[in-house]
Structure 1
Amino acid sequence: MDFWSWVSWFFWVFVFTAYLMVLFSILGDIFRDSTLNGWVKAIWIIFLIFVPFLTALIYVIARGSGMQKRGMAQARDMREQQDAYIRSTAGASSPSQDIATAKSLLDSGAITQAEFDALKSKALAR
């Protein structure tokens, strides 16, 4: 194979990969959209199977801004859920419990006095 055959091969692999990414993002958006009923979703999928390039182009033109809004809403919801989880687990123990745990580790010899002092100051700083 000569150089240009390699370049051509890499180009077509890139195009195919980009097409698959667009196709999967469209499919994800179809199933994420709660305003579409099942029949409309099925029609979009059927057209994606039988006329893939044209359907993908029409979908991105017609519903592209909605794709962006739904994606941003999903990311915002996931972020809020993560923050709520972190807040619920971060306040799970009190400073006195943390100090008592650190003291028991110090008494058992698992940590040094310097490590105990660092844990204690960290717990008191909360």
Structure 2
Amino acid sequence: MDPDFPLLSVFLYMLWFFAFILWLWLLFAVIMDVFRSQDLSGWAKAAWTVAIVVLPWLGVIAYLIVRGGSMHERSRAAAQRDEQAWRAYLQEAAGTTSDADELGKLAHLRDRGIISEAEFERGKTKILT
């Protein structure tokens, strides 16, 4: 770098730094996609991993050409699975049930003779109001 242009030097260092960060992000995204793919066998995952580790530039570019078009679909599917699991966990932890579930439980208790008809009607009124 020419010492007469320190601002240009700083700009070029920043450019290289951000290019390096972009490369790391792309590398991790591809590796995560390899292991997230359910349509790849274990041998195919191993082969892609070896290709990416041994020849990083060529391996990543080849992966993006061959399988890059569906990376967003796998990412979206994984996000949906995570969201469904999170919602199921929240519902389970909160213990929230629908009115129909509560009425079904009350009817089951009434049918087994654990609660009387009057208690069933009071519980039903409480749930529905």
> What TM bracket, shorter-length normalisation?
0.5 to 0.7
**Counterparts of 1:19 and 1:38, CA distance in 2:** 26
| Counterpart check, 1:75 vs 2:79 | yes
**Structure 1 gaps, min length 5:** 94-123
Give the superposition deviation at 1:16. 0.7
What runs of 5+ residues in structure 2 fail to find an aligned partner?
98-126
CA displacement at 1:55 relative to structure 2:
1.9
- Equivalent pairs: percent with the same residue? 32
Alignment of 1:28-47 (within 5 A): 28-47=32-51
Give the length in aligned residue pairs: 95
Q: Deviations over 1:14-44 (max 9, x none)?
A: 1111011010111111111122122211221
Ranked by relative contact order (alpha carbons within 8 Å, sequence separation 6 or more), the top structure is: 1
Please give the residue correspondences for 1:90-101 in structure 2 after superposition, counting only pairs within 5 Å. Answer: 90-91=94-95
Stretches (4+) displaced over 4 A: none
- TM-score, with length taken from structure 1: 0.66
Displacement, 1:10?
Answer: 0.6
Q: What residue in structure 2 maps to residue 59 of structure 1?
A: 63
Q: TM-score, normalised by structure 2?
A: 0.65
| Deviation of 1:9 (Å) | 0.6
Name the CA distance, whole Å, in 1 between partners of 2:95 and 2:34.
Answer: 39
Question: Structure 1, residues 41-64: CA drift from partner, whole Å, max 9, x if none?
Answer: 122122112221122122112212
The one-letter code matched in structure 1 to 2:86 is Q
Alpha-carbon offset, residue 92 of structure 1: 5.8
Higher Rg: 2
